[in-house]
């Protein structure tokens, strides 16, 4: 499999946090498994000042930014463990800082456009194109946006993965950024995302919306503590087996301690949410707004239809089929098909009606016994 990793920092070349460690180590591990993995990152001035060995430029072009075009040259790091491309964009990276400048939106719009230019060059000149583009954090989030919109004709077949390492930093800017991005045709999609995001241009939100798979590297767990929400540390990872297919807008949380696991042959398609520490058995398939809460254990060859919900900390045996719109609230220990829908009501009435329904079978038997006596 051909995989292109896109990150603003990659260890050991540039590191400000944990993102660099992942972007440096994971590609090397995947290459050891036989995949053709390559990395692209900015060519910061710090790298040039340190005199790292590079070859090139292997390509040169201009990148649109609003009404301007900015220069791009593409270099390749010579001594990198994983083939690493460096995007030399003077308008964005010929400065001392890595992040935190007032024009960071414009800088990383240029970076994302540069990634697409690199993909085009690799395709046309080197005969190489990725099967998967894996973008990391908000700085790379627009790559998925461009692939699914302005570059869909050329790269729409490429699968996209977006990993969030730090949810607190989303790349949120004023609406003026929309014009610079070249994504004005569809307008501010953020306006449909509710308070806090509406009325802004949000890189991370766009990465979430347009990526086929979203992985929460930090995890999204919070717990109440002294009147506020405190983040729960997520120390596990996501383990994905062979022949796994993950479809549009699916979100997988990493484990809190152990890993979240998708075994061989699992298929997840269209708006599926997999919570932390979930294990999905081999050749199981979920499709259409299926939610699986944390720490559920699901057997092999199971299915779940549209809108099905599986609560956390449950165990489901092999060969269980869950019908659409069914809510699984307890463990299932016997193979078969399970269905259940119940009209909503205020909670007290719902519990009363549910308790009555559960007693209907026993009431029927008692009625039959009375009829026999009569």
- Give the pLDDT of residue 217: 56
Contact yes or no for 188/139 (Cβ under 8 A)? no
- Whether residue 95 is predicted with pLDDT greater than 60 in this model: the reply is yes
CATH of 2-218 given 1.10.645.10, 1.10.150.130, 1.10.3720.10, 3.40.50.2000: 3.40.50.2000
DSSP H or E run through 1 = none
Contacts of 345 (CB under 8 A, 6+ apart): 353
Q: Which two tokens stand for residue 284?
A: 């199981």
Just give the CATH number of 245-338: 2.160.10.10
Helix and strand element counts for the chain (H, E): 10, 28
Stretch among 178-187, 242-251, 281-290 having the lowest mean pLDDT: 242-251
Give me the active site residues, please. Answer: 276
Q: Are the C-beta atoms of residues 278 and 302 closer than 8 Å to each other? A: no
Can you tell me whether residue 54 is helix, strand or coil?
strand
> What CA–CA distance (Å, rounded) separates 154 from 10?
27
Long-range contacts of 63-68 (CB under 8 A, 24+ apart): 63/89, 63/110, 63/113, 63/114, 63/117, 64/113, 64/182, 65/91, 65/106, 65/109, 65/110, 65/113, 65/180, 66/179, 66/180, 66/182
| pLDDT tens-digit series, residues 221-241 | 677 788 887 766 666 778 889
Backbone angles phi and psi of 45, in degrees to 5: -60, -35
Residue 299 has pLDDT above 70, yes or no: yes
Q: How far is it, in rounded angstroms, from Cα 338 to Cα 324?
A: 10
Average pLDDT over residues 56-74: 94
Please state, in angstroms and rounded to a whole number, the distance separating the CA atoms of residues 134 and 141.
10
pTM comes to: 0.71
Q: Where is 20: in which H helix or E strand?
A: helix 18-32
Is residue 89 scored above 90 in pLDDT? yes
Q: What are 99-122's pLDDT values in tens digits?
A: 999 999 999 999 999 999 999 999
The full DSSP string for 240-289 is E-TT-EE-TTEEEEPPSSS-EEE-TT-EEESS-EE-TT-EE-TT-EEESS
Cα separation of 95 and 288, whole Å?
46
Going by C-alpha positions, the residue among 301, 304, 352 that lies closest to residue 328 is 304
**pLDDT in the model for residue 314:** 95
Give the end-to-end CA distance of the chain in Å, rounded to a whole number.
75
């Amino acid at each position: 499999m051909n995989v292109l990793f896109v990150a603003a920092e990659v260890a050991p070349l540039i590191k400000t946090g944990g993102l660099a460690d992942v972007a440096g180590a994971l590609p090397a591990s995947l290459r050891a498994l036989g995949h053709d993995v390559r990395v692209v990152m900015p060519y910061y001035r710090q790298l040039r000042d340190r005199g790292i060995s590079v070859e090139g430029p292997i390509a040169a072009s201009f990148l649109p930014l609003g009404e301007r075009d900015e220069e791009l040259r593409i270099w390749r790091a010579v001594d990198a463990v994983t083939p690493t491309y460096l995007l030399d964009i003077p308008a964005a990276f010929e400065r001392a800082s890595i992040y935190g400048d007032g024009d960071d939106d414009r800088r990383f719009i240029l970076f994302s456009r540069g990634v697409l230019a690199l993909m085009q060059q690799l395709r046309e000149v080197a005969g190489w194109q990725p099967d998967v583009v894996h973008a990391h954090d908000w700085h790379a989030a627009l790559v998925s946006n461009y692939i699914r919109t302005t570059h869909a004709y050329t790269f729409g077949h490429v699968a996209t993965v977006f990993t969030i390492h730090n949810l607190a930093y989303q790349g949120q800017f004023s609406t003026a950024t929309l014009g610079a991005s070249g994504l004005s045709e569809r307008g501010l999609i953020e306006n449909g995302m509710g308070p806090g995001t509406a009325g802004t241009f949000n890189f991370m939100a766009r990465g979430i919306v347009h990526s086929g798979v979203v992985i929460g590297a930090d995890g999204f767990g919070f717990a109440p503590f002294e009147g506020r929400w405190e983040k729960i540390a997520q120390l596990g990872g996501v383990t994905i087996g062979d022949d796994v297919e993950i479809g549009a807008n699916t979100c997988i949380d990493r484990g809190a301690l152990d890993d979240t696991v998708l075994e061989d042959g699992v298929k997840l398609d269209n708006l599926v949410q997999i919570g932390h520490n979930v294990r999905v058995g081999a050749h199981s398939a979920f499709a259409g707004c299926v939610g699986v809460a944390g720490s559920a254990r699901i057997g092999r060859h199971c299915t779940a239809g549209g809108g099905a919900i599986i609560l956390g900390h449950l165990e489901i045996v092999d060969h269980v089929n869950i019908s659409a719109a069914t809510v699984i609230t307890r463990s299932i220990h016997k193979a078969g098909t399970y269905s259940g829908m119940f009209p909503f009501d205020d909670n007290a009435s719902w519990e009363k009606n549910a308790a009555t329904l559960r007693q209907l079978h026993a009431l029927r038997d008692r009625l039959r016994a009375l009829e026999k006596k009569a």
